[in-house]
């Protein structure tokens, strides 16, 4: 959530909360939106406080009621799968850029190894 304070227009902030009411997540989305940063809210419910501030909302199927006091694992698993799909779509669309980033990361990792 702290990173949202320095987010810019060309960044993307993603907030993830099953019930869409986790204070730190909502505040992070809110701050990023004030900075003009595009935001995505990933949640299991409609009409949440988080999506009020988000540019886009992605919803997973929710099997619990909004009054539950815990984060159910089935929604969490669906959110992880959704994030993985978004990640893979980005990689496919920006293959050359991502390839260069991985290469640079691998070089840095090799340089950091104790020999």
pLDDT (tens place) for every residue of the chain, 115 residues total: 678 889 999 999 999 998 888 999 999 999 999 999 999 999 988 899 999 999 999 988 766 655 555 555 667 788 888 889 988 998 999 999 999 999 999 999 999 987 7
The predicted pLDDT at position 45 comes to 86
The predicted pLDDT at position 68 comes to 54
Distance CA(46)–CA(49), nearest Å, equals: 9
The predicted pLDDT at position 13 comes to 92
The HSE-up count of residue 79 (CA atoms within 13 Å, CB side) is 22
pTM of the model: 0.71
The predicted pLDDT at position 76 comes to 78
Question: Crossing angle for the helix pair 95-112 and 73-93, nearest 10 degrees?
Answer: 100
Of residues 47, 53, 48, 45, the one with CA closest to residue 14: 53
Of residues 45, 30, 38, 39, the one with CA closest to residue 78: 45
| Phi, psi values for residue 54, rounded to 5° | -80, 150
């Amino acid at each position: 959530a702290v990173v949202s304070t320095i987010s810019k227009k060309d960044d993307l902030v993603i907030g993830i909360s099953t019930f869409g009411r986790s204070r730190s997540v909502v505040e992070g989305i809110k701050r990023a939106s004030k900075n003009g940063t595009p935001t995505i809210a990933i949640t299991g419910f409609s009409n949440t406080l988080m999506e009020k501030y988000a540019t886009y909302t992605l919803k997973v199927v929710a099997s619990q009621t909004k009054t539950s006091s815990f984060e159910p694992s089935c929604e969490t698993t669906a959110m992880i799968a959704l994030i993985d799909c978004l990640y893979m779509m980005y990689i496919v669309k920006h293959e050359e850029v991502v390839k260069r980033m991985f290469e640079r990361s691998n070089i840095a990792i090799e340089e950091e190894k104790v020999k």
